[in-house]
Structure 1
Amino acid sequence: MSQFTVSGRFQSRDGWEDFEKSIDAENENVAREHILAQFGSQHNLKRTQVEIEEVAA
């Protein structure tokens, strides 16, 4: 597995907020899915409320 850094922004009560998270994943698509699932479960956000701008190895 590789280390990926995912950055983007998500919708909060105060408007859009930036984020940057590191995650271990097999490839970029899996990293994206893990981040979307994490925001959904921890922050109760829908996928349309999270914008991923960059996935870097």
Structure 2
Amino acid sequence: MAAEQKFEVKGTFLMGEDWMPYTKVIEAPNAKQAEERTFATIGSKHNLKRRYITVSGVSPVKE
């Protein structure tokens, strides 16, 4: 099992008629999984489909 690492995920999501920016710090084994967890977190919190969430960048967080 890979050790969890922290990633900073940035992007936008649609709230009403406006695209709102977000920055989240997600623990995941790799960058792709961090992106997937971001979709799941924002999607469930704001009741959004993936097409209304964009990811502009994923970078590891230095501890």
TM-score after normalising by structure 1: 0.95
Equivalent residues in 2 for 1:1-57 (5 A)? 1-57=4-60
Q: How many residues align?
A: 57
Runs of 4+ aligned structure 1 residues displaced above 4 Å come to none
For residues 25 and 7 of structure 1, the distance between their equivalents in structure 2, rounded to whole angstroms, comes to: 15
- Extract unaligned runs of 5+ from structure 2: none
TM-score after normalising by structure 2: 0.86
Q: CA RMSD in A?
A: 0.7
For residues 22 and 14 of structure 1, the distance between their equivalents in structure 2, rounded to whole angstroms, comes to: 25
Bigger Rg over Cα: 2
Code of the aligned partner of 2:23: E
- Extract unaligned runs of 5+ from structure 1: none
For residues 50 and 7 of structure 1, the distance between their equivalents in structure 2, rounded to whole angstroms, comes to: 11
Aligned identity (percent) is 35
For residues 11 and 41 of structure 1, the distance between their equivalents in structure 2, rounded to whole angstroms, comes to: 13
Code of the aligned partner of 1:45: L
